[in-house]
Homo-oligomer: A and B are copies of this chain.
Amino acid sequence: MNPLDNIRVVLVGTLYTGNVGSSCRAMANMGIRHLRLAAPNLQNGWDEGERLAVHATDVLGSREEFATLEEAVADCVAVVGTTAREGLYRQHVKAPRDCAADILTLAATGPVALVFGREDKGLLNEEVAQCTHLVRIPVDEGYTSINLAQAVLITCYELFTASGRYQPPHEKAPPAPQAQKAQLMKNWSRMLQEIGFMKPEQADHFMQGFHRVFSRGVFTKDDAALMLGVARQAIWAKEHGQAGVSG
Contacts and interface: CB of A to CB of B under 8 A. Distances in A.
Contacts of A94: 168-170
Interface string A26-46: 101111000000000000000
A150 B222 contact: no
Interface in A144-196: 144-147, 149-150, 153-154, 157, 160-161, 165-166, 168-173
B136 A169 contact: yes
Contacts of A29: 139-140, 143-146, 150
Interface residues of A, number: 43
A202 interface: no
Interface of A: 22, 25-26, 28-31, 54-56, 91-95, 97-98, 136, 138-140, 142-147, 149-150, 153-154, 157, 160-161, 165-166, 168-173, 222
